[in-house]
Amino acid sequence: MSLLEIFYWLEYTPLLIEMRASPWLFPVIATIHLFGLVIIGGSVLVVNLRLLGLGLSQQPAARLARNTEPLLVVGIVIMLVTGFLLFLCFATKYYYLAPFWVKITSLVTVLIFTFTVHRRVTRDEERTTATGRIVALTSLSLWISVALGGRLIGFP
């Protein structure tokens, strides 16, 4: 079974056909997806701004990361669940869209990066360092690329 066939099968399962018949379900899920964007945005910004020496710059980065991590996880879970549902609605269309694949690639990369390199650097960061800045800029660029890819998927 090819990837396209899997996408086709997902998109045309009875549940999904039912879902698409509802004109308002897609924008409602998309709205909840935006709540996830805001939650991730807030938690990611607080920690990355600190690594750049901005925002809550007087606090240890490790404390900010510890404080915002539950929020980040909640945001990621909301995003993955609603994002998967949005994907199912138009899976075969997305198969052919470059921004979709850009988004998925950046997403996987940023998730791995966040829970490995980013977490390690944040834990040890006492003062603002060059490493911290690079890690923060990498994290922000990856998240922006995820968000931008998402927005471009919806364009005519």
Partner 1 sequence: MSVISFLEWLAATSWSIALHESRYMYLIVLTAHVLTLSVFVGTALIVDLRLLGVTMRHVAASEVMTRLLPWTSGGFIMMVVSGSLMFYANPLDRYDNLFFRAKMGLLVLAGINVWIFFRTAHRNIPDWDLDTVPPGMARLVGGTAILLWAAIIAAGRMIPYQQYWFN
The site for partner 1 (CB under 8 A) is made up of 23-24, 27, 30-31, 34-35, 37-46, 49, 55-59, 63-64, 67-68, 70-71, 144, 147-148, 151-152, 155
| DSSP structural state of residue 12 | T
Q: Which class for 125: exposed (0-12), middle (13-18), buried (19 or more C-beta within 10 A)? A: buried
Least distance from partner 1 to the Cβ atom of residue 2, Å: 32
Nearest to 150 by CA among 36, 18, 10: 36
Residue 31: count other Cβ atoms within 10 Å of its Cβ. Answer: 10
Least distance from partner 1 to the Cβ atom of residue 5, Å: 31
Which CB sits closer to partner 1, 5 or 18? 18
Least distance from partner 1 to the Cβ atom of residue 108, Å: 20
Cβ 62 vs Cβ 123: under 8 Å:
yes
Which CB sits closer to partner 1, 67 or 92? 67
Which CB sits closer to partner 1, 124 or 154? 154
Which CB sits closer to partner 1, 93 or 151? 151
Cβ 62 vs Cβ 122: under 8 Å:
yes
